[in-house]
Structure 1
Amino acid sequence: MSLKPHILVVDDELSMRDFLEILFRREGYRVTAVDRVQKAVACLENDHVDLVMTDMQMPEGSGLEVMRHTQALAPKAMVVVITAFASTDNAISAMREGAYDYLTKPFKVDEVKLVVRKALEKKLLSSENLRLKRELKQSRSRSLVGSSEAMQSVFRLMAQVALTKTTVLVSGESGTGKELVARGIHDEGNRANGPFVAVNCGAIPENLLESELFGHLKGAFTGADGAKQGLFAVAEGGTLFLDEVSELSLALQVKLLRVIQEKKLRPVGDTVDRDLDVRVISATNRNLAQEVEEGRFRRDLYYRLNVVEVEVPPLRERREDIPLLVRNFVRKYAAEMDRDIDSVSDAAMQTMMAYGYPGNVRELENITERAMALSQTDKIDLDSLPDVLKEVQPSLSVDSRPIGARGLEARLQEYERAILDEALRQSGGVKTRAAAQLGISFRSFRYRFQKLSRSSDSSESEGMGESLPED
């Protein structure tokens, strides 16, 4: 496959086709020259085309037809139209419909070269931006993974709301990945090509936050030496992510409610409303319903923001996802640190799964990065883990047969069963106490307890199968 950019020339005049073909070949491009729209369509259907240069007026068809076929068959190709001096209106119409530029006959050789070079550079830059966006998306997804039922429920809900315009509230403890969820909804939705703008409402002083969100005119207040575009305007056509939205003052909550309800924006100091096309996704690590009841958050704004709530579970309630997360982090930091580390010892993984992670996925990533930096071998072992993990490690009895002798699910069930058994032992068999000790809800504990009891071949004789008191 040729790496040379491919230019398709469409012109009914033989002399013009020959001139452009010779010129472009000398510049190192691959060229196909045709005299009618149908042949151009055939080329677009059967070959990769980077740039189309078409005459606007031809006996059989027009340059606008060529451009529309190009947009349908080769949407990434750039289009340059050629027109007579007296017909520039048609060329301008073509640019409104998506053409990159136009050339007016008669034109100079250097002018043609410049337009083509800039068009191809823009195409290359657009392709590079798309590639970088894909890589960034893949990088972010390393932290937003999980095979647990809890995370699968999150993924299903994200997929359902991604293609809608509704506001979404993402709730969960710090470090669970709320911004990653918001970005995931944006990336999979109709606004994926628009901006994703994130702002931490608790990190900006209240006296500056209004201007930061809504913008201001020059002279709107003391120190406003110039006009400022607010983040709502920056996010036009995309998504604005309001992290820690519970930190907004009641006065700002009123203004935010108005923007969301009316879909109009009025910068500070302005008297004119501007139409706004922005999706709002917010996040909080607080119980927002309780904040409403206690008068710290407006009830009407709460209902506007919480049309759909995506609750991200803490890591301690989805321990079965820890091995998958650790593997992803190991791959990430092995590449960044240029380390030949590709695995985690059994003892180290057991210890990592037993820890409670008050900092959630963010803390797990930090621990994995630290272990990668300190490891003296080709794997993460106990010696490279921080003492805080080893200090709280329960004495777990886990089958020590080679991992290859059992599947991943069986191995994870062993770890989880051992953790629950130890918690039950320490709590005297009372499940509510065991759940509190593990930092999970009783409902979550009961679900895991019953699931593991069903999967155990010896449930009648082992602790997991016994009927234990709840209180």
Structure 2
Amino acid sequence: MTESPRVLIVEDTVSLALTYAGQLEAAGCQVDMAASGAEAGQQLIRSPQPFDVILLDLGLPDGDGLELLKARPEMVRDSSVVVITADGSINRAIEAMRCGAHDFLVKPTAPERLTTTVVRAGQHRMLEREVQQVRRISRRDRFQGFVGASDAMQAVYRAVENVAASKATVFITGESGTGKEVTAEAIHALSPRSSGRLVAINCGAIPENLLESELFGHVKGAFTGALEHRDGAAREANGGTLFLDEICEMDLKLQVKLLRFLQTGTIQKVGSSRPEAVDVRVICATNRDPALEVREGRFREDLFYRLSVLPIELPPLRERGDDVVVLAQHFLERFAEEEGRTFDPLDGEASEQIKQHPWPGNVRELQNVIRRAVVMSSGTTLSLGALLATPVTTADISREPSIETPLMLFGPSSPPSADSLADPLAALDGLTLAEIERRIIDRALARHDHSVPGAARALGLSPSTLYRKLERWAQASTQV
């Protein structure tokens, strides 16, 4: 900092004001003066930039200096205020500090004391401004696939950068749809292993009896259907990164083998007696509370501590402030381009609707809502009213379907027939298994106001599994 502090002296005694000004100018300060609270207010308005220090006398001709501080909060917000008065009572000092004063001086004040206090107050304020400027410059609204500039996401970006170079295991936690896979991809891309593969396994989407083979591989004839040798994900990720999503859904027996793999760095294919060494960095993730899973006996405590060397917790979308609008605009532009449409930027009404919605499905839910809105909206203005008319609450997410309500599998425009009323399963006649699955899922989504986590809970699925089905159907419909 090479700039000279800019000081405003608010003092009604001209001789004192001139004395202070001379002492401060000799110390390198740039000084302006005001003889009253009203004149000080005008100086603050006219000044092209905030003063670094305001030297404020409490006994002003048009009012008390403390009252001026209370009436003009921008004084302590933008400047370091040093109060100076002949009334040296401790109560006045305490009241001044409560109003935001940086320091307190009692008249008469020694020149050295005055200049030291004011110069340090000025340096403090200039340093604060420099720090704020650096933070603004270094603040990122895009990072390795993420979109958002909130404080919560800045912390995530820094955490990703900090852990990327390490070989230690990373444990990513956060609600479904917060970007755990994006986080794993970012860590891999920034790591020394970026030239190797990132291999992802969803532990909740693969049947338990096949997960070990998917993870560690198998030899020919190891089990029915094992017609050839196969390398598992750990071998495929050799020299790179292995990402284990939904780790808390892994069977306890397989957790023991995973722990051995992490401790020894070796794998053993199903049906083989020969261990093989692999060089893999492991990243895992879950949308559950891993500590609760340990307490409930569903997740091994030793495995938990082995995995959570470097924990990263992703914030839900509702805690990311204005990021939700920035993300919505990002998805709007992306999906509009995909659909060959043109839309106006989100207006104030749409932005407010988006900010007020709780987004229990987080970024993935927002993405799906914007995609549907792009397809369904006519004209150039995005219409969100119908999609966000009924906010989803925690009660909606946890609500289970009533056993008294019959399962309805009819299409939206086809009324039930007499046969189907007598036998609800008659509606399944002529449908493929895939069509039945889709109708059941559509029905569950409708019951839960299109909340994917709510529908997944009702159907006994993990949200990630349901999201993948919806994404697959959406991709299939765009290819038709």
Mapped to 2, the partners of 1:323 and 1:349 lie a distance apart of 6
What are the Cα deviations for residues 403-437 of structure 1, in whole angstroms up to 9, with x where unaligned? xxxxxxxxxxxxxxxxxxxxxxxxxxxxxxxxxxx
Q: Where do residues 136-155 of structure 1 align in structure 2 (5 Å cutoff)?
A: 141=144, 144-155=146-157
What SS does the aligned partner of 1:378 have?
coil
Match of 1:275 in 2: 277
Is the Cα contact below 8 Å between 1:195 and 1:235 reproduced in 2? Answer: yes
What SS does the aligned partner of 1:390 have?
coil
Q: Where do residues 26-105 of structure 1 align in structure 2 (5 Å cutoff)?
A: none
- Counterpart pick for 2:379 among 371, 377, 380: 377
Mapped to 1, the partners of 2:142 and 2:280 lie a distance apart of 25
What SS does the aligned partner of 2:218 have?
coil
Counterpart AA for 1:390: A
Counterpart AA for 2:361: G
What SS does the aligned partner of 1:304 have?
helix
Match of 1:358 in 2: 360
Mapped to 1, the partners of 2:171 and 2:381 lie a distance apart of 39
Counterpart AA for 1:389: L
Is the Cα contact below 8 Å between 1:343 and 1:378 reproduced in 2? Answer: no
**Per-residue deviation, 1:223:** 2.7
- Report the CA distance shift for 1:216/1:391 in structure 2 as closer, same or farther (over 3 A): closer
Match of 1:332 in 2: 334
What SS does the aligned partner of 2:244 have?
strand
- Counterpart pick for 1:295 among 294, 297, 300: 297
**Per-residue deviation, 1:256:** 0.3
Is the Cα contact below 8 Å between 1:351 and 1:390 reproduced in 2? Answer: no
Counterpart AA for 1:235: A
**Per-residue deviation, 1:222:** 2.9
User: Would you say 1:319 and 2:318 are equivalent positions?
Assistant: no
Where does the alignment leave 5 or more consecutive residues of structure 2 unmatched?
1-140, 393-480
**Over 6 Å off, 4+ runs:** none
Mapped to 1, the partners of 2:386 and 2:354 lie a distance apart of 11
- Counterpart pick for 1:241 among 240, 243, 250: 243
How many residue pairs get aligned? The number is 252
**Per-residue deviation, 1:375:** 2.5
What SS does the aligned partner of 1:391 have?
coil
What SS does the aligned partner of 2:242 have?
strand
Q: Please tell me the root mean square deviation across aligned C-alpha atoms, in Å.
A: 1.9
TM-score computed with the length of structure 1 as normaliser: 0.52
Q: Where do residues 118-267 of structure 1 align in structure 2 (5 Å cutoff)?
A: 141=144, 144-267=146-269
Match of 1:15 in 2: none
What are the Cα deviations for residues 170-224 of structure 1, in whole angstroms up to 9, with x where unaligned? 1011111111111111111111121111111011111111111000111222332
Same amino acid, percent of matched pairs: 50
Mapped to 1, the partners of 2:372 and 2:339 lie a distance apart of 11
Mapped to 2, the partners of 1:351 and 1:311 lie a distance apart of 27
What SS does the aligned partner of 2:172 have?
strand
Mapped to 2, the partners of 1:375 and 1:205 lie a distance apart of 40
Larger of the two Rg values belongs to structure: 2
Counterpart AA for 1:262: T
Mapped to 1, the partners of 2:230 and 2:259 lie a distance apart of 21
- Report the CA distance shift for 1:140/1:147 in structure 2 as closer, same or farther (over 3 A): closer
Where does the alignment leave 5 or more consecutive residues of structure 1 unmatched?
1-137, 394-471
Match of 1:387 in 2: 386
What SS does the aligned partner of 1:155 have?
helix
- Report the CA distance shift for 1:339/1:140 in structure 2 as closer, same or farther (over 3 A): farther
Is the Cα contact below 8 Å between 1:253 and 1:301 reproduced in 2? Answer: yes
Is the Cα contact below 8 Å between 1:217 and 1:270 reproduced in 2? Answer: yes
**Per-residue deviation, 1:141:** 4.8
What SS does the aligned partner of 1:389 have?
coil
Mapped to 1, the partners of 2:385 and 2:233 lie a distance apart of 40
